[in-house]
A = this chain, B = another copy of it.
Amino acid sequence: MPKQIRLNAFAMNCVAHQSPGLWAHPRDRALCYTSLDHWVALARLLERGKFDALFLADVLGVYDVYQGSPEAAIAQAVQVPVNDPLLLIPAMAHATRNLGFGVTCAVSYEHPYVLARRFSTLDHLTGGRIGWNIVTGYLNSAAKGIGLERQSEHDTRYEIAEEYMEVVYKLWEGSWEDGAVVRDRARRVFAQPRQVHRVRHDGRYFRLDAIHLCEPSPQRTPLLYQAGASARGRQFAATHAECVFITAPSKQVAAPLVADLRRRAAAAGRNPAEILVFAMMTVITAATSQAAQEKLEEYRSYASEEGALVLMSGWTGVDFAQYRHDEPLRHSRQQAQVSALEAFTVADPQRVWTVRDIARHAAIGGRGPVVVGAPAEVADELIAWIEETDVDGFNLAYAVMPESFVDFIALIVPELQRRGRYKRDYAPGTLREKLYGSGRARLGTDHPAARFRIGAPGGR
């Protein structure tokens, strides 16, 4: 059987996520982000389309690198306002039975003791359908929100994240033994205290002396997502993540990233084939190729190029407002421009890119590729990504909410199913079991969390 394509829908509890300006499109419903009905309808739609999960991004700051101010972001609702994503999940989970939920939570703003309880609660309430996207944060504005001058240095953030993971693994895997909870009404015993263990941790960044507040949930540790792009980030992902989210503008850029991730995973003693890699992508489709192109052009008439520069400036730390729009950018010119350009120019090294080119390119689908075409064309391209880059699936961003998902489910899903590339129904069990098979509700023994289990070799 050919490799099955995995699909997440990619969204955020805000108005403009990856395609700034499209909120003004007459059919766009992103302005309804404060309504539970809106999110519940989206979850039901995605479940009809057999999506593996809805993946929710998050930031705890604003995009204020562009013009050194958040003004443009505020005017265009570019990822601000941004509401808490965790609070969307319970209502969506209650309205669905199989859809998974991946949610971004930074390790920078909350003690691991508290975060561990939030995810255990979500894992219980969703019946084991929760995933955690581990992020270290990238916006200085978020650090200032919690009273710091600026965020920690990049590598220090990963050092903190490593210790954070150790603490949450101890809580999730090593506090309550499997047999601890008996719920015995006749004997009037809820749990066996001898099988509930106090976690002690006295590290460089965190201290803890407590039992985990929650009994074991279906998955214990939530399904772990990560999206680190740097070498340090990829090493972290290869160590901890089960699902990795990459942003690459082309198959040529993606393939070596995937190979590097799998190499690092193997070196860490994990099964490299089981790291599921999702490439961000935006798909615009219609019944015919021409209709799809017309839809793209219509969308473009709403896209905000300034909004795109707001995002690009935030992501790269380079204020694009300092350049003229027709100014060509080159690798050689300024070090500061390199990271900003890299994503685009590696894909097409001969082309000269102006600021306007970048803005226009990023205004739909951010730094990810936009695939436009009739169902057969899109399916061809998705399969080519799978074959040529070894990714496992896609994080599908929307241009128009929820039209991009409606179109994909109506046109692309049946095409992929006909080609034997996409499931016709969900597998049973928790999110981890749906991805890895029955009996895999918990993390495998090759995962670093396993050594914190009671009685683990080399463990407590």
A114 contacts the other chain (Cβ, under 8 Å)? yes
A24 to B87, CA, bound (A): 31
Taking CB atoms and an 8 Å cut-off, the chain A residues in 270-295 that contact chain B are none
A124 within 8 A of B: yes
| CB–CB A188/B83 < 8 A | no
Residues of B contacting A211 in the complex (Cβ-Cβ under 8 angstroms): 62, 70, 74, 80
Whole-angstrom distance between the alpha carbons of A191 and B148 in the complex? 27
Stretch at the interface among A105-113, A219-227, A257-265, A365-373: A105-113
In the bound complex, do residue A70 and residue B193 qualify as a contact, i.e. CB atoms below 8 Å apart? yes
> Hey, which chain B residues are within 8 Å of A209, CB to CB?
144-145, 147
Whole-angstrom CA separation of A110 from B115 in the bound complex: 11
Known interface pairs A75-B193, A188-B24, A188-B304. Does A80 touch B213 (Cβ–Cβ under 8 Å)? Answer: yes
Selected from B84, B90, B208, the residue in CB contact (under 8 A) with A145 is: B208
Say if the beta carbon of A94 comes within 8 Å of chain B: yes
Q: Count chain B CB atoms within 10 A of each CB in A61, A206, A213 and give the residue with the most.
A: A213
* Inter-chain contacts of A72 with B (CB < 8 A): 193
Let me know if A62 and B213 touch, CB within 8 A: yes
A446 → chain B closest CB, angstroms:
29
Chain B contacts for A352, CB-based, 8 A: none
Interface of A is mostly: mixed
Mask of A97-135 contacts with B, CB within 8 angstroms, 1/0: 000000000000111011001101110110000000000
Q: In this assembly, does A192 line the interface, its C-beta being within 8 Å of a C-beta of chain B?
A: yes
B114 with A60: CB separation less than 8 A = yes
Central interface residue in A186, A189, A209, by most chain B CB within 10 Å:
A209
A5 at the interface (CB under 8 A from B): no
How does the 8 Å CB contact mask read for A214-236 relative to B, with 1 for contact and 0 for none? 11010000000000000000000
A147 near B191: Cβ-Cβ < 8 Å: no
Question: Of residues A87, A93, A114, A214, which shows the largest number of chain B Cβ atoms within 10 Å of its Cβ?
Answer: A87
Measured CB to CB, the nearest residue on chain B to A182 is B75
Residue-wise interface mask of A (53-81) relative to B, using a CB-CB cutoff of 8 A (1 in contact, 0 not): 00000001110000001111011110011
The copy count of this chain in the complex is 2
Cα(A196)–Cα(B77), bound, Å? 12
Tell me which of B86, B89, B207 contacts A147 (CB under 8 A): B207
Q: Which residues of B contact A120 (CB under 8 A)?
A: 83
Task: Confirm or deny: A363 has a beta carbon within 8 angstroms of a beta carbon on chain B.
Answer: no
Task: Decide if A254 is an interface residue (CB 8 Å cutoff).
Answer: no
Residues in B with CB closer than 8 Å to A21 are 188
Which residues of the partner chain B approach A336 to less than 8 Å between Cβ atoms?
none
Q: Is A91 an interface residue, CB under 8 A from the partner? A: yes
B-chain residues with CB within 8 Å of residue A83 when the two chains form the complex: 117, 120-121, 124, 213-214
Query: How far is it, in angstroms, between the C-alpha of A214 and the C-alpha of B148 when the chains are bound?
Result: 20
Residues of the B chain whose Cβ atoms lie less than 8 Å from the Cβ of A302: 188
Nearest CB in chain B: distance from A130 CB, A: 10
- What is the distance, in angstroms, from A218's C-beta to the closest C-beta of chain B? 9
- 26 pairs across A/B with beta carbons < 8 Å? A24-B186, A36-B90, A36-B125, A40-B94, A62-B210, A74-B190, A74-B191, A75-B191, A77-B190, A80-B211, A80-B213, A82-B213, A83-B121, A83-B214, A84-B117, A90-B90, A91-B94, A94-B94, A110-B110, A110-B114, A111-B147, A113-B145, A144-B209, A147-B207, A148-B207, A188-B302
Additional A-B contacts beyond A81-B213, A110-B110 (16; CB < 8 A): A16-B190, A21-B188, A24-B188, A36-B125, A37-B94, A60-B114, A74-B193, A75-B191, A75-B192, A76-B190, A77-B191, A81-B215, A82-B214, A88-B90, A94-B94, A188-B302
